């Protein structure tokens, strides 16, 4: 049975009154059953779509920032590839490198490494892939609801479409549908940063000489660039004040880097290297995480 057929079958069971499995039960299933159940539950409105609780997003939620922060956490890189029958090698992060996949904050570190989080990410991805119309309708409804909730508290809604992915065109389309919501993102695709959409976006520097050169090129024409530094996040040590002659703002204070970015000119969103000691060492060795001098 294909993934599409299984999701359709499970959706029909739910419509007929079948008991919805809890996440604990899904974690005990085979990976195929777990993620197809999750997709079916999402498409039938039994599970939410957007991310309401994630460490980085939660930091920004206060009257001080003036925002409630939410996001969409889909499966990163090749995480959902084995479940998408129609497209071999499905990659949600076209600009990803081996080093950034290993250290991905959205899927490999912290809460993102939990089995339940992985099931949720892949389930959302399959729901989007196999019934995009229904998925977008649910997504839009939740974003609108969060925007209204924010307004009640006298703040605005900030939304990060790509918490663990790089679907920049989909992010632009979603931002067009919600003109009163502040969309922001990171992308390893230069054209995404150059696009004139309504998403505030910085270029995400990766490892490798070509990627490093591209990051410098983006800075040279005034764009923002996110850079991971060889500074252990657990120590809360300060980031360098400048990198390659460009001012660095602390991207770990909260996810709303655009509130601290200079009004004009290039800037760097500095991020501390995260993950286990092994993941951090790998990030430094590959050049994904850099020293203060670059």
What percentage of the chain has pLDDT greater than the value 70? 91
CA nearest to 258, candidates 269, 247, 266, 248 = 269
Residue 293 has pLDDT above 80, yes or no: no
Q: What is the pLDDT of residues 61-79, one digit of tens each?
A: 556 789 999 999 999 999 9
**pLDDT for the residue numbered 102:** 75
Residue by residue, DSSP assigns 47-82 as S--SB---HHHHTT-BTTTTEEEEE-----TTTTGG
What are 7's two structure tokens? 């999701």
**pLDDT for the residue numbered 97:** 81
The residue ranking higher by pLDDT, 284 or 165, is 165
Q: What is the pLDDT of residues 104-130, one digit of tens each?
A: 665 555 554 679 999 999 999 999 999
**pLDDT for the residue numbered 210:** 92
Query: 18-22, 141-145, 192-196: which has the minimum mean pLDDT?
Result: 192-196
Nearest-angstrom CA–CA distance, 279 and 134: 37
Domain boundaries, given as residue ranges, for the chain: 23-41+48-290
Residue 60 has pLDDT above 80, yes or no: no
| Residues 105-111: contacts with CB under 8 Å, at least 24 apart | 105/56, 105/164, 105/274, 105/275, 106/73, 106/76, 106/163, 106/164, 106/165, 107/75, 107/76, 107/77, 107/79, 107/164, 108/275, 108/279, 109/274, 109/275, 109/276, 109/279, 110/55, 110/274, 111/54, 111/55
């Amino acid at each position: 049975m294909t993934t599409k057929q299984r999701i359709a079958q499970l959706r029909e069971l739910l419509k007929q009154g079948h008991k919805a499995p809890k996440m604990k039960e899904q974690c005990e299933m085979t990976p195929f059953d777990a993620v197809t159940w999750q997709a079916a539950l999402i498409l039938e409105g039994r599970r939410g779509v957007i991310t309401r609780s994630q460490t980085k997003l939660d930091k920004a939620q206060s009257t001080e920032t003036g925002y409630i922060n939410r996001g969409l956490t889909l499966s990163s890189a090749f995480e959902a590839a084995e479940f998408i029958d129609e497209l071999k090698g499905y990659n949600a992060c076209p600009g990803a490198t081996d080093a950034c996949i290993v250290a991905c904050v959205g899927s490999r570190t912290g809460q993102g490494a939990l089995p339940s989080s992985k099931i949720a990410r892949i389930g959302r991805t399959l729901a989007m892939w196999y019934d995009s119309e229904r998925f977008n309708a649910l997504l839009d409804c939740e974003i609108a609801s969060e925007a209204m909730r924010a307004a009640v508290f006298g703040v605005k809604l900030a939304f990060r479409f790509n918490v663990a992915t790089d679907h920049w065109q989909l992010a632009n389309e979603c931002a067009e549908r919600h003109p009163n919501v502040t969309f922001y993102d990171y992308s390893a695709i230069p054209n995404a940063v150059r696009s004139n959409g309504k998403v505030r976006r910085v270029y995400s520097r990766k490892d490798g000489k070509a990627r490093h050169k591209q990051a410098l090129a983006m800075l040279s024409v005034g764009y923002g660039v996110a850079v991971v530094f060889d500074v252990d996040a657990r120590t809360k040590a300060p980031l360098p004040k400048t990198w390659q002659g460009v001012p660095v703002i602390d991207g770990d204070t909260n996810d709303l880097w655009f509130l601290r970015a200079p009004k004009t000119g290039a800037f760097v969103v500095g991020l501390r290297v995260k993950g286990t000691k092994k993941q951090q060492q790998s990030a430094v060795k590959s050049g994904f995480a850099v020293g203060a001098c670059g």
